[in-house]
Structure 1
Amino acid sequence: MTPDEARAVFFEELGNIAPEWDPAEIDPGEDIREAMDIDSMDVLNLVIALHKRTGIDIPESDYAKLITIDGAVAYLSAKSGG
């Protein structure tokens, strides 16, 4: 998966968790939990959705790598072999 594909998947799944969010309003390096006021259950739902969508196993120890847009894109791209 290319970084652009990873970004599109992340944005779509994040939009399913928080439909009111606007990607243009969030700095790609900012913690999405704070920027979007989402809780740990929302993050878990996002991780599950990303796993289902991509087939990438995401261990709990890696959840912190998905809390910024840049981090999630890099993680998904690297883990998918992109």
Structure 2
Amino acid sequence: MNQQDARTAVQAAIGQVAPDVEPGDLADGARLRQDLELDSLDFLRLVETIAGSTGVDIPERDYPAVATVGGLVEYVAAHG
């Protein structure tokens, strides 16, 4: 999966899980838990939504790598 497809998938998944997050808040450096205010349940739903839409499973050991919007995009692009 290329970067643009991964970014689109991540933005769509965040929009489903946290519809109140503004698209302008989705800068690469934005931290999912702190900056976008996703709680642990929201984060798990985001991981499940990504898996459902892209087929990319993110194991718990890789959660630190996907702590930011950019990290999540990179991970999905690399594994999709």
TM-score between the two structures when normalised by the length of structure 2: 0.90
The CA deviation at 1:67 is 1.9
Aligned residues: 80
1:5 aligns with 2:12: no
In structure 2, the residue matched to 1:57 is 57
Specify the SS of the correspondent of 2:57: coil
| In structure 2, C-alpha distance between the alignment counterparts of 1:70 and 1:4, rounded to whole Å | 12
- Matched-pair identity in %: 35
The CA deviation at 1:23 is 2.5
The CA deviation at 1:56 is 1.5
After superposition, give the CA deviation of every residue in 1:21-70 in whole Å (9 maximum; x if it has no partner).
11213431121211121111100000011111111221111122222111
Give runs of ≥4 in structure 1 deviating > 6 Å: none
In structure 2, the residue matched to 1:20 is 20
2:15–2:21 Cα contact (<8 Å) kept: yes
Specify the SS of the correspondent of 2:58: coil
Specify the SS of the correspondent of 1:36: coil
Question: Structure 2: which 5+ residue stretches go unaligned?
Answer: none
In structure 1, the residue matched to 2:32 is 32
| In structure 2, C-alpha distance between the alignment counterparts of 1:78 and 1:40, rounded to whole Å | 24
In structure 2, the residue matched to 1:71 is 71
| In structure 2, C-alpha distance between the alignment counterparts of 1:56 and 1:21, rounded to whole Å | 23
